[in-house]
Amino acid sequence: MDIQAIKNRFGIIGSSPALNYALQVAVQVANTDLTVLINGESGVGKEVFSQIIHALSARKHNPFIAVNCGAIPEGTIDSELFGHEKGSFTGAVDSRKGYFETVNGGTIFLDEIGEMPLGTQARLLRVLETGEYIRVGSSKVQKTDVRVVAATNRDLLERTQQGKFREDLYYRLNTVPIRVPALRDRKEDIPLLFRKFSVDFSEKYKTPSIQLDEEARNILVNYPWRGNIRELKNIAEQISVLSSDKLVTANDLKRFLPEQPAEMNRLPMLASQQQNGDFTSERDILYKLFFDMKKDVTEVKKMFFDILQNPSMAHAADYHPENHVLHSYPNTGEMNTPATNTNISNAQPIILQDNKIDHHEEVEETLSIADKEKELIVKALKKHKGKRKDAALDLGISERTLYRKLKEYNIAE
């Protein structure tokens, strides 16, 4: 089916390459029974993709249900999904069918799958692998034929490393991944979406349709939109209702846009500030740290090599990194610092005994991530006297990850 026809049918606006590719994958996988995992930030419209997959599948005449796993309490989610028998728990006055029974033959959309409890994940894995499930409080195995489409705004692979999501379930769900782009990654679509929303709201509230001037349009396009399409729609509704002028200027628009927090510090966060261990990867931090160290070491080596080549460079009053000049000190036989050297005018140049360099070989320091990572772990354990919990906190990783690294590098505690 044509992508534009899909957009018209489901009210999707935009033509960014990332959006078109996501739609193309959804169309191609729709007529199969493969499990699909939709990734994307909150507010990008992941549920629409699940509806597209169901509507273009052979199951389109059978039931479709969307379940928000994060909105169901942990104590009742098993009952909601798989049903329960009468008397199986307090309040179970009657038997009840679960979604996997009522939607048999259709499609179930599990939104925020990353919030599903571990126990429920085990039950879901069995359904995906064998099509079997057991009601809460029952011992009878039942069969179901349900296609599962899941969605998440979390990094499930990272959560598997933290022990919060089953790795086998992750790979079972991720048979066909679809990534829905964030609104800030499809800037060319923002004016079109805003125009569509503003027209809809002007008709709904019987108000004049609003327009943005050029400067306001630029602000709208370059705004980060952390809430994605949901946030853009809310702003369009506010302006449609509250704006007194039909033409919205940049100053008018700024009154409706919330102030953005200061740009986050790009340096690694202290472990004490990152209690939940939600780094993208502990290796990302090490990569940045080691490459910064390499740059600094290379600059220092170049500075001393320049001095060896030209000793007169050492005869200067101050050190400046940009021209590799060192402090000079009086030839008194004592070690003075620049702060305590009061007779700087009598300073003598540093004399290098051997000005001839027959051969210069630059030795590259090791940049092995594994070696550096092992070295940091050993230092942290030594610092905290072998206490894994404190060492993990200091390193900014989970205790589970630290335990895995100890095994990987064969580090004796």
Which has more confidence, 208 or 342?
Answer: 208
| 188, 177: one domain | no
Domain check: are 114 and 133 in the same one?
Answer: yes
Alpha helices in 57-204 (DSSP H): 77-82, 99-102, 118-130, 156-161, 167-173, 190-204
pLDDT confidence of residue 331:
44
Segment 157-171 mean pLDDT: 95
* pLDDT confidence band for 366 (50 / 70 / 90): low
Lowest mean pLDDT among 49-53, 237-241, 403-407: 403-407
Q: Which of 120, 153, 181 is the last residue of a domain?
A: 181
Instruction: Please check whether residue 139 lies inside any domain of the structure.
Output: yes
**Shared domain check, 102 and 45:** yes
What pLDDT shows up at residue 15?
92
- How much is the pLDDT for 143? 96
Same domain, 115 and 229: no
The pTM score is: 0.62
Average confidence (pLDDT) over 346-359: 44
- Does 232 lie in the same domain as 137? no
Give yes or no for residue 202 having a pLDDT over 50: yes
The reply to whether 175 and 26 lie within a common domain is: yes
Identify the CA nearest to 200 among candidates 253, 236, 249.
236
Considering the domain architecture, whether residues 141 and 11 belong to the same structural domain is answered as yes
State the CATH number of the domain containing residue 226.
1.10.8.60
The percent of residues in the chain predicted with pLDDT above 90, rounded, is 57
H or E stretch covering 98: none
Same structural domain, 128 and 173: yes
Q: Is-contact 137 89, C-beta < 8 A?
A: yes
Spatial CA neighbour of 56 closest among 181, 174, 149: 149
Q: Are residues 143 and 232 in the same domain?
A: no
201 and 133 within one domain:
no
Three-class secondary structure of residue 36 per DSSP: strand
385: in domain: no
Name, in order, each residue with C-beta under 8 angstroms of 81's C-beta and a sequence gap of 6 or more. 67, 98, 99, 100, 120, 123, 124
Least confident of 59-63, 230-234, 307-311, 321-325: 321-325
Domain termination residue (choose one: 181, 215, 237): 181
pLDDT in tens, 336-346: 444 444 443 44
Q: Report the range of poorest mean pLDDT among 19-23, 93-97, 269-273, 369-373.
A: 269-273
On whether residue 151 sits in a domain, the answer given is yes
The answer to the question of residue 280 being in a domain is no
Residue 313: pLDDT band with limits 50, 70, 90: low
User: Residue 12: what residue type?
Assistant: I
Arithmetic mean of pLDDT over the chain: 81
Check whether residue 113 and residue 226 sit in a common domain.
no
| Total tally of structural domains belonging to the chain | 2
The helix or strand, by DSSP H or E, that contains position 142, with its residue range, turns out to be strand 141-143
Binned at pLDDT 50, 70 and 90, residue 296 comes out as: low
Do residues 188 and 176 share a domain? no
pLDDT in tens, 50-96: 999 999 999 999 999 999 999 999 889 999 999 999 988 888 889 99
Range of the domain at 83: 3-181
Domain stop point among 132, 166, 181: 181
